[in-house]
Amino acid sequence: MPASEIIQAKAAGHVDTPAPTPVQVAEPFALIIFGATGALTHSKLLPALFSLWQGNFFGTPFIIVGVGRRDKTDNQFRDELRDAAETHDRIHASDRNAWESFAENVIYHRSDFTVAESYSTLAERLQGLEKERGLGGNRLFYLATDSDQFARIIKELAAVGLVQREATQPWTRVVVEKPFGKDVTSARTLDEDILRVLHEEQIFRIDHYLGKETVQNLLSFRFGNAIFDPLFNSRYVDHVQITMAEVDGMEGRRGAYYDGAGALRDVVQNHLLQLLALVAMEPPASLGAKDVHDEKVRVLRQLVPGGGKDGSGWVVRGQYGTGTREGRPARAYREEEAVATNSTTETYLALRLGVDTPRWAGVPFLLRTGKGLARRVTEIAIEFKQAPLRLFTAATQNGDLCDRTCNCGADCRCGIAYAEPSVLAFRIQPDEGISLSFSAKQPGMQLVLQPVRMDFLYGQSFKQALPEAYERLLLDALRGDLTLFMRSDEVTTAWEFVTPILEAWERQPAPNFPNYAAGSWGPVEADRLLSGCQREWRQFQ
Ligand code: BG6
């Protein structure tokens, strides 16, 4: 595009960012997925791999071997994957031919990974395929199984020589899904077991939130602009709210996993604490994996309960009862498939905590997440303090400063010049973007302030669709880039912080669940976590 056209396009706010040179996987490889018949493989992994292939990110020969216990042919497996991808709207009718070419690289291998002998059969099959297709022996193993199986699978793979600790060429890497362990002790044991067989650099602990474009943008926004990060500290910030709300309950047999996990293990220990670390961390020395991980760990080490002085009152848990979802009656969690009828698993969790660093000391970080809530939204909101000069704060009828809680009644004119505190909100999903809310004078003869918003929306500023998190993460794992994965000490430090909550729950009497209706915003007790903050929980329409 000539420069003049670029300038015009920029002025119109629609720049087609020049496509960067594709960051291709440079070497041939075999990707072996354990848990190949599971939902993750069908709904996320294979669609992501197909998309990478279509985007020309695999410049060399490759194979994808799905390992599962069920008996099926390669073609049955390929068809199932295609049907699932279509159901999830990840491939369309027009992609059919492309899918057929891609699927020639997809192989199914029936194997029971709980049986030691099955690994030598896998080794033989894999070596045969690698030879036949000239793949050279680079291998990425993806463990999409229950975390109880990780150590065993890796040990057996090592026993038959499929993973090697010292090998750099050809390389061997292993991706493990979250949750990594069930508490700090099991996470440490798992680490020790795995690190006996592999180097830290060979282990890719995945947290798919780190692959989301909007999450990656947090560091670019903070450290790529000179004007925002200087405000990220206790002098200007009243509190930070991180919300990850989901409408869905337990679809399919999801309850079978979730009932043994709960919100704390499922998303707080990983996704929410990772988001917090990215918002609170100091600038890293570089964007390399080590420097980024070092800074995140520093934040996680400094987490402190942010409630009462005795540490109580900083966690609110809940479980949904019957209610409505998208206008239709919704069942209670305890009525969901594969969930115990007297389950005490938390489907909602809100926490108030602090980050005890010079930058953040005294600033509450409020985290909340839940299933069966009113709306699907993930957002990080930085809520700024009131402007220090109370020029725009009117007096109430009693002479107090108006904070809009004056209850003056219908004639109230207190808030007329009230300046709402500014909010910087990172919308992780949906409607991805960043917005800044601040007060502006309403045009007219009186001084009336009104909150207004400046919005950046990905959909408006960029023409290309956002890549799926798994696309980026699979590509990085194939290229050996660990930056967007979790390092061992990140995982264990996060567990160190949350494990005492699990232990406290064990000591307490069974909670009185359910305590919120499906389709609501969670238990009302969560409101008390905001005491002393200028605001309420953020509302989403
Ligand atoms: C997963 C959790 O890690 O993240 C699920 O196990 C949750 O329970 C999911 O639903 C949410 O992911 P996303 O990308 O849809 O926000």
**pLDDT bucket at 1, cuts 50 / 70 / 90:** very low
The reply to whether ligand 1 has any atom less than 6 angstroms from the CB of 383 is no
Cα–ligand 1 centroid distance for 21 (angstroms) = 31
Cα–ligand 1 centroid distance for 356 (angstroms) = 29
Q: Closest Cα partner for 81 from 141, 32, 30, 37?
A: 37
Cα–ligand 1 centroid distance for 127 (angstroms) = 35
Q: From start to end of 361-518, where are the E strands? A: 365-370, 377-384, 423-429, 433-441, 449-457, 516-517
Mean pLDDT on 271-290:
96
Token pair listed for 464: 């290309």
Q: Does pLDDT of 343 surpass 80?
A: yes
Q: Closest Cα partner for 177 from 214, 149, 197, 216?
A: 149
**pLDDT bucket at 19, cuts 50 / 70 / 90:** low
CB-based contact 143:34 (threshold 8 Å): yes
The reply to whether ligand 1 has any atom less than 6 angstroms from the CB of 213 is no
The reply to whether ligand 1 has any atom less than 6 angstroms from the CB of 266 is yes
Q: Which atom of ligand 1 is nearest to the CA of 248?
A: 10
Mean pLDDT, the chain, rounded, equals 89
The reply to whether ligand 1 has any atom less than 6 angstroms from the CB of 496 is no
Looking at per-residue confidence, does 390 or 411 come out higher? 390
Task: Among 51-55, 112-116, 173-177, 445-449, name the one with the lowest average pLDDT.
Answer: 445-449
Q: Does pLDDT of 16 surpass 80?
A: no
Task: Among 250-259, 388-397, 467-476, name the one with the lowest average pLDDT.
Answer: 388-397
Task: Among 164-168, 231-235, 306-310, 394-398, name the one with the lowest average pLDDT.
Answer: 306-310
Going by alpha carbons, the residue nearest to atom 15 of ligand 1 is 246
User: Would you state the pLDDT for residue 101?
Assistant: 94
User: Would you state the pLDDT for residue 398?
Assistant: 60
The reply to whether ligand 1 has any atom less than 6 angstroms from the CB of 373 is no
Q: Which atom of ligand 1 is nearest to the CA of 376?
A: 16
Q: Does pLDDT of 480 surpass 90?
A: yes
The reply to whether ligand 1 has any atom less than 6 angstroms from the CB of 267 is yes
Beta-strand relationship, 323-325 and 423-429: unpaired
Q: Does pLDDT of 190 surpass 80?
A: yes
The reply to whether ligand 1 has any atom less than 6 angstroms from the CB of 246 is yes
Cα–ligand 1 centroid distance for 496 (angstroms) = 22
**CA 319, 321, 323, 324 torsion: positive or negative?**
positive
Going by alpha carbons, the residue nearest to atom 10 of ligand 1 is 246
pLDDT tens-place string over residues 245-268: 999 999 878 899 999 999 999 999
User: Would you state the pLDDT for residue 406?
Assistant: 59
Mean pLDDT on 445-449:
76
Length of the chain as a residue count: 541
For 56, 314, 401, 450, the CA distances from 415, given in Å and listed in that order, are: 58, 32, 9, 10
Buried b (16+ CB within 10 A) or exposed e, 213-244: bbbbbbbebbeeeeeeeeebebeebbbbbbbb
Give me the active site residues, please: 271
For 305, 316, 360, the CA distances from 309, given in Å and listed in that order, are: 9, 16, 18
Q: Does pLDDT of 184 surpass 70?
A: yes
For 94, 98, 440, the CA distances from 101, given in Å and listed in that order, are: 13, 5, 57
Residues contacting 161, CB < 8 A, separation 6+: 123
User: 516 forms bridges with which residues in the sheet?
Assistant: 320
User: Would you state the pLDDT for residue 161?
Assistant: 92
Q: Which amino acid is at 393?
A: T
Task: Among 47-56, 239-248, 402-411, name the one with the lowest average pLDDT.
Answer: 402-411
The helix, strand and coil proportions of the chain, stated in percent and rounded to the nearest 5, come to: 35, 20, 40
Q: Which of 215, 257, 271, 345 has the most ligand 1 atoms within 8 A of CB, as the residue to mutate? A: 271
Q: Which of 214, 254, 264, 267 has the most ligand 1 atoms within 8 A of CB, as the residue to mutate? A: 267
**pLDDT bucket at 147, cuts 50 / 70 / 90:** confident
Q: From start to end of 186-311, where are the E strands? A: 203-205, 237-245, 303-305
User: Would you state the pLDDT for residue 309?
Assistant: 43
Mean pLDDT on 232-238:
96
Q: Which of 176, 182, 208 has the most ligand 1 atoms within 8 A of CB, as the residue to mutate? A: 208
User: Would you state the pLDDT for residue 403?
Assistant: 59
Q: Does pLDDT of 414 surpass 80?
A: no
Q: Does pLDDT of 92 surpass 90?
A: no
pLDDT tens-place string over residues 287-335: 999 999 999 999 999 999 985 444 457 999 999 999 999 889 999 999 9
Q: Which atom of ligand 1 is nearest to the CA of 207?
A: 3
Q: Does pLDDT of 6 surpass 60?
A: no
Q: Which of 205, 246, 254, 432 has the most ligand 1 atoms within 8 A of CB, as the residue to mutate? A: 246
Cα–ligand 1 centroid distance for 67 (angstroms) = 23
**pLDDT bucket at 530, cuts 50 / 70 / 90:** confident
pLDDT tens-place string over residues 130-143: 999 999 899 999 99
Going by alpha carbons, the residue nearest to atom 13 of ligand 1 is 209
CB-based contact 270:356 (threshold 8 Å): no
User: Would you state the pLDDT for residue 142?
Assistant: 97
Q: Closest Cα partner for 370 from 268, 489, 493?
A: 268
Q: Closest Cα partner for 277 from 201, 225, 207, 191?
A: 207
**Alpha-carbon distance 372 to 247, whole Å?**
5
Q: Does pLDDT of 191 surpass 50?
A: yes
Cα–ligand 1 centroid distance for 23 (angstroms) = 27
